[in-house]
Amino acid sequence: MPLNSANTKHSLPGKPPKLCNIDLLRGLATIAILVWHYQHFYYPMAGEPPTGWTPDQQPMFASLKWLYLKGDWAVKFFWILSGFIFFHVYAQRQAISAREFFVNRFSRLYPLHFVTLCLVAVLQIFSLELFGHFQIYSENNLYHFFLNLFFASHWGLQSGFSFNAPIWSISVEVLAYTVFFGYLKGVGISLLSSVVWLVLSLIVYTVDPGSIAECLVLFPLGGCVHEAGEFVRKRWGAVANAVCASGVTIAIAALLLSPQALSATAVQCLLFPALIWFASALDGINVSSGRIGVTLGHLTYASYLIHIPLQIITLIALDGLIGSRSVVNSTFFLFGFVGSVLALAWLTYSFIERPAQSFFRRNLAYAKETPS
């Protein structure tokens, strides 16, 4: 989820295509998270579900039912997608140094995380002073602040969700990045090695299931999808790859039409990988979302991190100035919320994310090592 754009410049024959459709999927998955988190507008205070409230009271529930009820599945989609993109990007950069790899990740993730963490901390203090309670998430203390500060908010050390809580999935994914770098330098990217990593992760998950172990399964699953697609593309061409991806996706979708086959595991481990393969294969034959996909992909990380601060600000305003939250039941408010997040994400990407990323990469990644 929090990756650079899936696109890389490939000018040499036989290189993988740009993945505009993958960027589009990233953006759509983020919108799913926004709809899933719309329920926060109904929480009277942090960690306290509203009395007598049911999800069907949210606007456009009939049309958006799946997102309102299952939108959190998008996190699992992001983990698979991240694995796919990492394999796509680093298959051509396997000689990358640990320093550059770390700076790339730090510059991409940390600046906006730090800014939004501090912003939420201030907003929660303000809410506590004004209303006597926090908004949305309750574990907003110094201990959890330091866990968040070091991307450790979901390493099993936490008491619950805290501050800008969606960062939890990035907290887990950071560990997958570390494993990936060891894998990259240790055995190198290939279809066989990705399958081995997946099998080993599945064994670990059966012994000790949890978010970290699950991410370490889904991340290499995305890598396997990438390598399988590359195997087909390099041997039989981009059209054959698109045909295979289309056939697999249609077959899985048809299978899941049966209520007996439809489950979280089936969607996350079968349909999600198939959709990613299908989207990337279409890019390979120039059936692409183009600039639209790339633009939406750019907004993904910012949307993910700024929507909670925006919700807290909105809740403080509704409770403190208006004294009612009835407006959140309207379709207009729902679209206004999603639209505001995307607009702010564009500003954030343009004036915080991209400049900070360039600054850190310019001053850290390629700086000459100084003598010790």
Summarised one tens digit per residue, pLDDT across range 1-11 is 555 545 544 33
For 9, the 3-state DSSP assignment is: coil
Enter the tokens of residue 119. 């912003």
Predicted local distance difference test score (pLDDT) of residue 12: 38
Scanning the structure block, which residue is given the tokens 């989609």? Answer: 77
Read off the pLDDT of each residue in 241-247 and give the average, rounded to a whole number.
Answer: 97
User: What is the percentage of the chain residues whose pLDDT exceeds 70?
Assistant: 93
Read off the pLDDT of each residue in 303-326 and give the average, rounded to a whole number.
Answer: 96
Summarised one tens digit per residue, pLDDT across range 38-67 is 999 999 999 888 888 999 999 999 999 999
Predicted local distance difference test score (pLDDT) of residue 11: 34
Read off the pLDDT of each residue in 184-205 and give the average, rounded to a whole number.
Answer: 97
Q: Rounded to the nearest 10 degrees, how much is the dihedral formed by the CA atoms of 44, 45, 47, 52? A: -20
Whole-number Å distance between alpha carbons of 222 and 217? 9
DSSP-assigned letters across all residues of 85-142: HHHHHHTT-TT--HHHHHHHHHHHHHHHHHHHHHHHHHHHHHHHHHHSS-SS----SH
Q: Is residue 213's pLDDT more than 80?
A: yes
Q: Is residue 16's pLDDT more than 60?
A: no
Whole-number Å distance between alpha carbons of 329 and 59? 5
Summarised one tens digit per residue, pLDDT across range 118-152 is 999 999 999 999 999 999 999 999 999 999 999 99
Determine which helix (DSSP H) or strand (DSSP E) holds 197, and give its type and residue range: helix 191-207
Read off the pLDDT of each residue in 337-357 and give the average, rounded to a whole number.
Answer: 97
Q: Is residue 209's pLDDT more than 60?
A: yes
Predicted local distance difference test score (pLDDT) of residue 139: 96
Average pLDDT, the chain: 92
Q: Please check whether residue 268 is in contact with residue 218, taking contact to mean a CB–CB distance below 8 angstroms.
A: yes
Reported pTM: 0.92
Predicted local distance difference test score (pLDDT) of residue 367: 47
Predicted local distance difference test score (pLDDT) of residue 262: 82
Selection from 135, 215, 165, 166 nearest residue 29 by Cα: 166
Whole-number Å distance between alpha carbons of 345 and 334? 17
Give the burial string for 187-215 (b: 16+ CB within 10 Å, else e). eebeeebbbebbeebeeebeeeeebbbbb
Least confident of 70-74, 238-242, 365-369: 365-369
Which is more confident, 61 or 366? 61
Q: Computed over its alpha carbons, how large is the radius of gyration of the chain?
A: 21
Read off the pLDDT of each residue in 150-165 and give the average, rounded to a whole number.
Answer: 96
Predicted local distance difference test score (pLDDT) of residue 18: 79
Predicted local distance difference test score (pLDDT) of residue 368: 43
Predicted local distance difference test score (pLDDT) of residue 258: 81
